[in-house]
Structure 1
Amino acid sequence: MFGKRLAMAATVTFLIAALGACSGGTGTASGGSGAGNDDDTVRGLKDSVRHITATTTRATRPHLVKRCSTATRRVRHTSGSGSGSRRRTRTWYTTERYRSCTQVQRGTETYRKTVRPEEWCVELDDVNGDRKRDDVWYRVSRQTYGDALGADDRARLEFVPTGRGC
């Protein structure tokens, strides 16, 4: 029994080590320096920037309020004395008060619903050195957008996008 478990543990350990070696780790397969998230970094020439504002609309939802009421319930109590064939059990009941609360709808309320979130985008040419890849849009963080907005036209930019397309 113990031998089977030991053999199974050795097999699992070997598989984990083999799969870990095949995963690539933080190597330089992408041609980068091997530091951190080089696979996600995009390089290219600034073409254009775009800020898409958030779009909201008014919507309604049920307005819930907490309604509480007091109620009573019957509670059973028992106590025993004696032992063996002389054992006696005494039972009595009491009324206990408690508070019962529930959420109930009382009308509706209006709120602002976000239909489209705010986005910041940058368009690059010559993406990752490929002269054929022009006019590619990337969604970026607000800070990266600010850096790209302040950069000159056709300036070389390097950033990690948060998404593709805009």
Structure 2
Amino acid sequence: MSVKQRPVFAGLTLMLVAVLSACGGGADKGDGHAGGKGGGKGGSYSQPHSDQVRGLYDAVRHLPRKTAKATRAHMVKECDPATRKVKHTSRSGSGKRKRTRTWYTTERYNQCHKVRKGSETYTRVVRPERWCVRLDDVNGKPQKDDRWFRVSPATYSEVHGKDEHARVKFEPRGRGC
């Protein structure tokens, strides 16, 4: 690039950055905040990201753990004595007089494997225990009513003590119940 082209290129780059920052500043305005002149740096109107939900308390539901009896093969470890041949080598001498001696020995060990011996009964978890809260007007949106959220037992007991349609805010473990 020649010396004459550098100021032109720098000017175009500066204009491009200014246009992109002006266009991109209002793209992430958060929860329905109207525009207006922002006094913040970079023209950003976005709220810090949080997984918390807020709304009006509607109902709670506790689903206990659901289990079922099932059977599976009972496996037992069985070992049989076995032997294997082990190769040994030793080297002696140097130069042209190098000599390698090889010999074999028999090593005894236990060869183990699992074998089926009958069957055993165990308790299988069909559904884990869940604590759920139903909210209306989720995150201030009236069209988002009757939404279920899975919560921790502590959040469940905290919300359960509140009046119906009280404002609550919590971090859910999952959606649905």
TM-score w.r.t. the length of structure 1 is 0.71
Which residue, out of 76, 80, 88, partners 1:77? 88
Q: For the residues of structure 2 that align with 1:82 and 1:129, how far apart are their CA atoms?
A: 89
- CA contact 2:69–2:124 (8 Å) conserved in 1: yes
Match of 2:54 in 1: 43
Q: Which residue identity is paired with 1:107?
A: G
The change in CA–CA distance for 1:83 and 1:51 in structure 2 (over 3 A counts) is: same
Which structure is larger by alpha-carbon Rg, 1 or 2? 2
Which amino acid letter does the alignment assign opposite residue 77 of structure 1?
Answer: H
* Counterpart among 97, 104, 111 of residue 100 in structure 1: 111
1:114 Cα deviation after fit: 0.9
Please state if 1:157 is matched with 2:168.
yes
Question: Residue by residue, what CA displacement relative to the aligned partner does 1:76-116 show, whole Å, maximum 9, x if unpaired?
Answer: 22334345554443332221111222122211111111111
User: CA offsets per residue over residues 123-152 of structure 1, 9 Å max, x none?
Assistant: 111222222322121111111111111111
Give the fraction of aligned pairs with identical amino acids, expressed as a percent: 57
Question: TM-score of the superposition, structure 2-length normalised?
Answer: 0.67
Q: Are 2:133 and 1:133 equivalent residues in the alignment?
A: no
The answer to whether 1:115 aligns with 2:130 is no
- Say which SS state the counterpart of residue 68 (structure 1) adopts: strand
**More displaced stretch, 131-140 vs 47-56:** 131-140
Partner residue in 1 for 2:8: none
Tell me how large the CA RMSD over aligned residues is.
Answer: 2.4
Distance 2:29 2:129 in 1: 34
Counterpart AA for 2:63: I
C-alpha deviation, 1:161, in angstroms: 1.4
SS, match of residue 145 in structure 1: helix
Query: Once structures 1 and 2 are overlaid, which stretch shifts more, 74-83 or 56-65?
Result: 74-83
Deviation of the 1:34 alpha carbon: 4.3
Residue 86 of structure 2 is aligned to residue 68 of structure 1? no
User: Paired residue for 1:29?
Assistant: 30
Partner deviation per Cα, 1:32-89 (whole Å, 9 max, x = no partner): 9945x52x21111111100011111011111111112221122222334345554443
- Which region of structure 1 is more displaced relative to structure 2, 47-56 or 89-98? 89-98
Q: Distance in 2 between matches of 1:79 and 1:138?
A: 71
Query: Matched residue of 1:50: which SS?
Result: strand
Gaps of 5+ in 1: 1-26
